[in-house]
Structure 1
Amino acid sequence: MIDVVLKLSARDLVHADLESLGWAGSAHHLADVSRQLERARFGEVDYLAVCPASNIPVAKCGVDYRVKEGVGTLWQVAVHPALQSCGIGTFLVEVAQQRIRNRGLRHAELAVEENNSRARALYERLGYVAYDCRPDSWDEQAPDGSLRRYETMCVLMRKELA
């Protein structure tokens, strides 16, 4: 067996990264990411990229500071499917939490779909605690290019940041 070690860095996601994020979602999703990058210009959100030496993102997430007063809310957390379970998600969430702390905030929250047991296990391992459930929905692009409404139930989780 050969062990491969990736040196990762985290930085702000930029518009030029969007064309390399096809693994993260449809064109409709990437258009939403583009809108979120505009919000980042005004300090409403941070949008992060985790990259190896190539500087091409292999993970991304947003932190929204407008969802709830005094809280950084993580959303759109994604790791390239071929690189999941390699510690990249842990690194990404820890960087996001540091961004929240840097703003002087003490709490992080997120929502995870009830049926996404792998992601929920990661968040629990990182100290997030479930406190409620709520339905959520969004438009997603079907293979034929049309939009359809996706509905799900999410577990709300929070963590107090030291």
Structure 2
Amino acid sequence: MINVVLQLSARDLVHADLASCGWAGSDHHLASVADQLERVRTGEVDYLAVCPATDVPVAKGGVDYQVKKGVGTLWQLAVHPALQSCGIGTFLVEAAELRIRNRGLRQAELGVEEGNPRARALYERLGYVAYDRQPDSWDEQAPDGSLRRYETMCTLMWKELT
């Protein structure tokens, strides 16, 4: 068995990172991320990149401060598929929670698709508690390049930050 230790850092995701984030989603998704990066300038959101020493993102995700007053809402969390289950998701969520606390807020929320039990198990391990369900939907790019509406049911979870 070979053990590899990654030294990770969290920083702001920038437009130049998007070219190396194809693992995170389609061109349509990355265009949406680019739009969200514009909201960073206004302070409405934080958008993070988790990087090893190469400074190339292996995880990304946002915190939206406009969804609910006094709450940081985590969204668009993703870890490179080849590096899942290595602790990077935990690092990403903890970095996002630090951003929320640094704004003087004490509550984090997120929605997790009900068809994603691994993600929900991670959030539960990190102290998130389910409190409701709600449908969600977004446009996604089909393999032929066309857009289709994706609909899902999400469990809403929250955590008190100390």
Shorter-chain TM range is over 0.9
**Whole-angstrom CA distance in 2 between matches of 1:72 and 1:127:** 15
Q: Counterparts of 1:23-102 in structure 2 under 5 Å?
A: 23-102=23-102
**Whole-angstrom CA distance in 2 between matches of 1:17 and 1:42:** 20
Amino acid at match of 1:146: S
Question: Is the partner of 2:17 in helix, strand or coil?
Answer: helix
Amino acid at match of 1:18: L
Q: How many residues align?
A: 162
**Whole-angstrom CA distance in 2 between matches of 1:72 and 1:137:** 20
**Whole-angstrom CA distance in 2 between matches of 1:5 and 1:72:** 30
Match of 2:122 in 1: 122
State the Cα distance separating 1:115 from its structure 2 match: 1.0
Question: Is the partner of 2:49 in helix, strand or coil?
Answer: strand
1:158 aligns with 2:158: yes
**Whole-angstrom CA distance in 2 between matches of 1:138 and 1:33:** 13
**Whole-angstrom CA distance in 2 between matches of 1:41 and 1:28:** 21
Q: TM-score, normalised by structure 2?
A: 1.00
**Whole-angstrom CA distance in 2 between matches of 1:118 and 1:155:** 13
Q: Could you tell me which runs of 5 or more consecutive residues in structure 2 were left unpaired when the two chains were aligned.
A: none
Report percent identity of matched pairs: 82
**Whole-angstrom CA distance in 2 between matches of 1:77 and 1:87:** 14
State the Cα distance separating 1:48 from its structure 2 match: 0.1
State the Cα distance separating 1:64 from its structure 2 match: 0.1
Tell me the C-alpha RMSD between the 2 structures.
0.3
State the Cα distance separating 1:12 from its structure 2 match: 0.1
Q: TM-score, normalised by structure 1?
A: 1.00
